[in-house]
Structure 1
C-alpha cells in the first residue's frame, strides 16, 4: 500500500490498538477512536486490532476503511459471535485462543496504542508493556488518554513509583498522550530509537 501521508521513512508500518468493545458514555471516546482510525489511514499506517465491529473497536476500524487504509483483525474462534466479528475486513484472521490472538497481534505490529476500554484493554496493554520491561521487545507502548479516561490509572502508576514497587525507568516505558499528533510523535520517536523489533524471538 502506498502511504497517502507522512514520510516514506516512517518506522511505523503497523500499529496495534487495544480498545473497548463498548462505546462508553463519553462522546470523546468515540471521537478519539474515529480520529485515530482516520489518522492511521491518512498516514498509510496499517491497523492491527481485535477484529470486532462494535464499540470503539468497530468505530476505529471503520474509520480506517473509510479512509482507504488497511485493517488486520485478529479474533479467536469462540468470540466470532460474541464480539460480532467485522465481516467487512478483507484481512480478518481467526485464531484458536486469546493467547494466540495477543501473540499474533504483537508479532504483526511495530507499536501499541491503548484507547479507553475495560479489563481486556488494560490486560493487553500491560502484557505488552511487561514484555518490554523484560526486554522481549523494544516496541513503543502509548496510552491515548481521550477525555481524561486514564487519569486515575496514571495517578496510580505514579503511586506505584512512590511506593517503590515500580521503578522510574520502567515507568518511563509507557507514554501517555492526550492528542493524536502527540501520540504519533511519541510512537515514531521511540520506534526510531528502539528499532521497534523483538529482541529475542525465542523468548516470545
Structure 2
C-alpha cells in the first residue's frame, strides 16, 4: 500500500480527541511509509493529519478545488499540492491516487466523499479498502443506520461487511494492510 486517501473535517470538533487522533493517523502513515492523499487544507482534522505526516518525514499530497483555496487554506508545505477546478475533480484525483480510503470525523462533505468511494467498491468499480476511524464512537450511529437499512431491505449485509472500522489509527492501518 503506497497511498491512503483520508477524508476528514475542516473543523476541529468540540473534543480535542478528534485532532489528537487525526494527527496520530498521520504519524502512523509516515511510520509505515504510506503517503497521505487528502483535501490539501491546514485547518481542522485535515491540518492535523497532514501535520502528523509531515512532522514525521512522510509525504503528503493535497488536492484542493480553487474555490476552497482560501476557505480551507491550502497547505503550502505539502510534498505535492494539486489545485483542481471542482469537487468532482478533487474526488476523482484522490480516488485515482489512493490505494485505500479512510474517513476521520467530519461533516457532510467528509461523508459524501467517503460514501462515493464506498459505493464504488460495492458495485465493483474498485477493490480498495474503505475504512472508518471511529474516534470517540463518531461512526457508531452510522453502522447502526446500516443495520437499519439492511433490516428494511435496502442494503445487503455484504455491503456493510466491506467497511473496516477501528478506534485506533495503528490498528486500522494494520487491518487495511492485511486486507490488501
For the aligned pair, the TM-score class normalised by the smaller chain equals: over 0.9
Residue 71 of structure 1 pairs with residue 80 of structure 2:
no
5, 18, 26: which one aligns with 2:7 = 18
142, 151, 155: which one aligns with 2:140 = 151
Q: What is the deviation of 1:48? A: 0.2
Residue 171 of structure 1 pairs with residue 160 of structure 2:
yes
Quick check: which has more Rg, 1 or 2? 1
The answer for unaligned runs of 5 or more in structure 1 is 1-11, 192-204
Computed over aligned residues only, the root mean square deviation of the Cα atoms, in angstroms, reads 0.9
1:132, 1:139 within 8 Å by CA — same for their partners in 2? yes
7, 10, 19: which one aligns with 1:30 = 19
Number of positions where the alignment pairs a residue of Structure 1 with one of Structure 2: 180
The answer for unaligned runs of 5 or more in structure 2 is none
1:139, 1:190 within 8 Å by CA — same for their partners in 2? no
Q: Give 4+ residue runs of structure 1 displaced > 3 Å after superposition.
A: none
What is the match of residue 86 of structure 1?
75
Provide the C-alpha distance between the structure 1 equivalents of 2:52 and 2:174, rounded to a whole number of angstroms: 21
Q: What is the deviation of 1:49? A: 0.1
Provide the C-alpha distance between the structure 2 equivalents of 1:181 and 1:86, rounded to a whole number of angstroms: 25
What is the match of residue 178 of structure 2?
189
Provide the C-alpha distance between the structure 2 equivalents of 1:120 and 1:147, rounded to a whole number of angstroms: 19
2:5, 2:37 within 8 Å by CA — same for their partners in 1? yes
TM-score when scaled to structure 1? 0.86
Q: What is the deviation of 1:185? A: 2.4
**What secondary structure sits across from 2:9 in the alignment?**
coil
1:22, 1:55 within 8 Å by CA — same for their partners in 2? yes
TM-score when scaled to structure 2? 0.97
1:75, 1:94 within 8 Å by CA — same for their partners in 2? yes
Give per-residue Cα distances to partners, 1:117-141, cap 9 Å, x unaligned: 0000000110000001110000000
